[in-house]
Amino acid sequence: MAKSSADDDELRRACEAAIEGTKQSIVMSIRVAKSRGVWGKSGKLGRQMAKPRVLALSVKSKGQRKKAFLRVMKYSSGGVLEPAKMYKLKHLSKVEVITNDPSGCTFTLGFDNLRSQSVAPPQWTMRNTDDRNRLLVCILNICKDVLGKLPKVVGIDIVEMALWAKDNTPVVTTQRSTQDGEPVAEAVSESDLKVTVEKELVSQAEEEDMEALLGTYVMGIGEAEAFSERLKRELQALEAANVHAILESEPLVDEVLNGLEAATNIVDDMDEWLGIFNVKLRHMREDIESIETRNNKLEMQSVNNKALIEELDKVIERLRVPSEYAASLTGGSFDEADMLQNIEACEWLAKALRGLEVPNLDPIYANMRAVKEKRAELEKLKATFVRRASEFLRNYFASLVDFMISDKSYFSQRGQLKRPDHADLRYKCRTYARLLQHLKGLDKNCLGPLRKAYCSSLNLLLRREAREFANELRASTKVSRNPTVWLEGSTGSSQNANTDTSAVSDAYAKMLTIFIPLLVDESSFFAHFMCFEVPALAPPGGASNDKRPNNDDGNDDDDLGIMDIDETDKKTGKTSPDLTALNESLQDLLDGIQEDFYAVVDWAYKIDPLRCISMHGITERYLSGQKADAAGFVRLLLGDLESRVSMQFSRFVDEACHQIERNERNVRQMGVLPYIPRFAALATRMEQYIQGQSRDLVDQAYTKFVSIMFVTLEKIAQQDPKYADILLLENYAAFQNSLYDLANVVPTLAKFYHQASEAYEQACTRHISMIIYYQFERLFQFAKKIEDFMYTITPEEIPFQLGLSKMELRKMLKSSLSGVDKSIASMYKKLQKNLASEELLPSLWDKCKKEFLDKYESFVQLVAKVYPNENVPGVTEMRGLLASM
């Protein structure tokens, strides 16, 4: 069996070190496990987590008085014992062993001086029952010796404890030194070393007297037979003495019997009286029970009446309408100074109405006539207040806007562009923001007319601001008008094409920079102010317009946070009713303002149609900066503006295409057509205007322009087939020369550049072939006949065919090559004669010589195969002749 922790000297020394300075001495220390029980469930070990603790019994002597303590020690983070709690054993009232713990090692100690008796006392669990009994016996002995009283013991028999203590008090061998210093072993009980387990039945003096008395009596038990005879004689003497005593006591017995009989009679009389009293008491008890029953009923009735009165008082208090709130709801002023009182009245009314609804009111009261009447009264108050507040707000919105419209200083004037400022308007409206929230809570349907009234009033102000700003913006922008006829064949049409019109696109950018953030702020403010429940709204009027930088160059990168009307559909698959209502209201709020933006676009188009490219890029930049917000209509406005700009630019492109097509109806044209170089100038200008996402718009225009140009060029060339190739190659060459630099940076133009290059090569090939055949027709026709026969007969048979004899070959060579130098000179003159672009002549002549040599080389090879013995001028000789010319 493992050694008990009560015998651990090191543990005792640790405990003494922990209470050093308290003048207390440790009597016993033992390790335990602490847990927390549950009240009302003492049988269940409702412990969560057992904590290691050490219980130490200590005694403090003060003169003749002694005090006993129970100390609880716990281990610090460093494993050192430190005092946790201390209990005085004089307050120990109960020791209870937990009976439902199968091991019987768990107990509780009850103290009568604890502050909170509602908290379950801690439960202490020992390692085994011996440790438990050892601790409890020690506690009981200290209580008896030091305090003179024992606590109540529950769950264990104290006699069993005493028996255990007697059986388990070990004998400890101690060493005592004699006077000469030699140790002498002495056996004493452990209880003598600590405390006595139980008191002896007789004192030491009585025990000594009994030993002396027994010593004087000579038993004489040395002879068994003599001792047995002696015992028999003494027994007979005792029996004789008993019989004699009985005979002598007969009178006494009679006297006792008489007394018993008299007492029996008295007892019988007493029994009869008790029976009578019992009947009377039974009747009295029944009467008392009846009285108690009536009293209980009366008491219950009194309690119920009291509770009913209290409940009715609460209902009456709930149904009472304070006079100051009633006055505010029915006839109070809506001035700014009175708004706090009106808000309080609204809050009270909303709370009162909610209090009369079933979830907040006991259903028993819901059908009471008083509650119904009060609910009707509150509904009437609500309707009156909603009607008065709605009428006031409608008039208030109209008066605010009328005041601003009547003051011309709010708008742009001649010579002065004024940024719209709605800070004061929003400040005045915010005064009634809480009122609108309470109106929504009281009657949600009343917000519809109020929203329409606000939209109608503010729409007038916004349209007036936009109109005045747009008019002054156009009037203050001074710029010369660029020609709209870019590609017309008439002379001098592009003399003003290089006029700087950047002020036009800057004016459009300023219009967007000023008004788009304003419209976004107004939309967000309207959504919050009018209590729309839509997600991810921007802060209403977050940044005042005065704080926005005035960026007049069109490069304002304000993040609009615009949300598409269908944004919610994409995310959730459905549109919230409030979002639909908000977009409808924004339509009413901002409808009509787009006309002033359209006017600026149309004005810019008339001055310089190419500025549509810049305006398209500016508009696209605003559209691309979208994020979830309430300004769905602003996004629609920007989309319409983009469409308007695209439409005007398409109109310009269509007109330019018509100008190109007019060249087809002109008289015979030679040289480079006018629209070829003018398109290069136009493309250069268009590239300068590209901003942001307008690349696609310009590429579409390029595609349309060049397609019409090439189709028209082919049609013009077909009018005079004789000079068609010359016209084509000159114009395709001019197209490539004029667009060489742009084609290197613009993919769309590069595609058309390569298309023109292919068409140029084809036209050159056809024209050069025509000139060569014109001068050497017989030579190459003879070669063509030979090639045709080569497919059907062998080369040896060809000289025997009609027209291909050797004689015919010699005649043909004499007529074609006798004056070959003159023929080549004529070929050069014919190439030069109809060519308007002199810079093309060297490259064309080189192509012509190369083509002629290729054809002549093919002819020489054919002759060598068919007429091997005929003498024909060689290719080298012909190449030298061409090089010398």
Q: pLDDT tens, 547-597?
A: 333 444 434 433 333 344 344 444 444 556 677 878 787 877 778 888 888
Q: Which DSSP helix (H) or strand (E) runs through 554?
A: none
Rounded percentage of the chain residues whose pLDDT exceeds 70: 80
Residue 63 — very low, low, confident or very high, per pLDDT cuts 50/70/90?
Answer: confident
Q: Are 59 and 67 in contact (CB under 8 A)?
A: yes
For residue 32, the model assigns a pLDDT of 92
Report the distance separating Cα 467 and Cα 628, nearest Å.
29
- Poorest-confidence range of 184-188, 459-463, 469-473, 545-549? 545-549
Higher pLDDT residue, 213 or 127? 127
For residue 30, the model assigns a pLDDT of 92
Of 134-138, 487-491, 738-742, the range with the highest mean pLDDT is 134-138
Specify which residues 69 forms β-bridges with.
Answer: 58, 88
pLDDT (mean) for 651-669: 77
Q: Is 103 left (phi over 0), alpha (psi -120 to 50) or beta?
A: alpha
Average pLDDT, the chain: 76
For residue 544, the model assigns a pLDDT of 38
Neighbours of 689 (CB within 10 A): 20
For residue 290, the model assigns a pLDDT of 92
Instruction: Answer yes or no: is pLDDT of 41 > 70.
Output: no
pLDDT (mean) for 697-711: 86
pLDDT (mean) for 10-16: 88
Rounded percentage of the chain residues whose pLDDT exceeds 90: 7
Report the distance separating Cα 122 and Cα 100, nearest Å.
16
Domain spans, the chain: 5-37+50-167, 323-478+503-538+577-622, 682-694+739-884
Calculate the alpha carbon distances from 312 to 309, 316, 357, 359 in Å.
5, 6, 17, 18
pTM (predicted TM-score): 0.54
Tokens at residue 305, please?
Answer: 């009446």
Instruction: Answer yes or no: is pLDDT of 847 > 90.
Output: no
For residue 300, the model assigns a pLDDT of 92
Instruction: Answer yes or no: is pLDDT of 288 > 90.
Output: yes
Q: pLDDT tens, 593-623?
A: 888 888 888 888 888 888 888 888 888 888 8
Q: pLDDT tens, 140-177?
A: 888 888 888 888 888 887 777 778 888 887 544 444 44
Say which residues have a Cβ less than 8 Å from residue 439's Cβ, sequence separation at least 6: 346, 386, 389, 390, 446, 447, 450
For residue 538, the model assigns a pLDDT of 44
Tally of CA atoms within 13 A in the half-sphere of 303 that contains its CB: 5
Report the distance separating Cα 430 and Cα 451, nearest Å.
15
Q: Give the CA-trace dihedral at 777, 783, 788, 793, to 10 degrees.
A: 150
371: closest CA among 387, 383, 389, 355? 355
Q: pLDDT tens, 369-403?
A: 777 777 777 778 878 888 888 888 888 888 888 88
Q: What's the CA angle centered on 527, arms 522 and 528, to 5 degrees?
A: 100
pLDDT (mean) for 29-52: 67
Instruction: Answer yes or no: is pLDDT of 180 > 60.
Output: no
- Poorest-confidence range of 237-246, 733-742, 744-753, 795-804? 795-804
Tokens at residue 790, please?
Answer: 């080569």
- Poorest-confidence range of 108-117, 180-189, 693-702, 739-748? 180-189
- Within 416-446, residue ranges assigned H as helices are 423-430, 433-442
End-to-end Cα spacing for the chain = 133
Q: Are 863 and 872 in contact (CB under 8 A)?
A: yes
Report the distance separating Cα 68 and Cα 55, nearest Å.
13
Q: Are 184 and 146 in contact (CB under 8 A)?
A: no
For residue 721, the model assigns a pLDDT of 75
For residue 298, give the 3-state DSSP assignment: helix
Q: Which amino acid is at 100?
A: N
For residue 296, the model assigns a pLDDT of 92
pLDDT (mean) for 730-742: 85
Calculate the alpha carbon distances from 478 to 472, 481, 597, 607 in Å.
12, 10, 19, 10
pLDDT (mean) for 448-461: 86
Tell whether domain 682-694+739-884 is in CATH 1.10.3470: no
Burial group, residue 244, by CB count within 10 angstroms (0-12, 13-18, 19+): exposed
Q: Which amino acid is at 613?
A: I
For residue 273, the model assigns a pLDDT of 92
Report the distance separating Cα 677 and Cα 674, nearest Å.
6
For residue 38, the model assigns a pLDDT of 53
Residue 630 — very low, low, confident or very high, per pLDDT cuts 50/70/90?
Answer: very low
Residue 2 — very low, low, confident or very high, per pLDDT cuts 50/70/90?
Answer: low
Q: What's the CA angle centered on 581, arms 580 and 585, to 5 degrees?
A: 120
Specify which residues 108 forms β-bridges with.
Answer: 96, 123
DSSP 8-state symbol, 413: B
pLDDT (mean) for 246-263: 84
Pairing of strands 106-111, 65-75: unpaired
- Poorest-confidence range of 78-87, 237-246, 345-354? 345-354
Specify which residues 55 forms β-bridges with.
Answer: 30, 72
Report the distance separating Cα 454 and Cα 585, nearest Å.
9
CATH among 3.30.1050.10, 2.30.29.90, 3.20.20.140, 3.30.1360.170 for 5-37+50-167: 2.30.29.90
For residue 747, the model assigns a pLDDT of 86
For residue 483, the model assigns a pLDDT of 54
For residue 362, the model assigns a pLDDT of 66
Q: What's the CA angle centered on 691, arms 690 and 692, to 5 degrees?
A: 130
**What are the helix and strand counts (H, E) for the chain?**
30, 10
Instruction: Answer yes or no: is pLDDT of 222 > 80.
Output: no
Residue 184 — very low, low, confident or very high, per pLDDT cuts 50/70/90?
Answer: very low
For residue 70, the model assigns a pLDDT of 92
For residue 565, the model assigns a pLDDT of 39
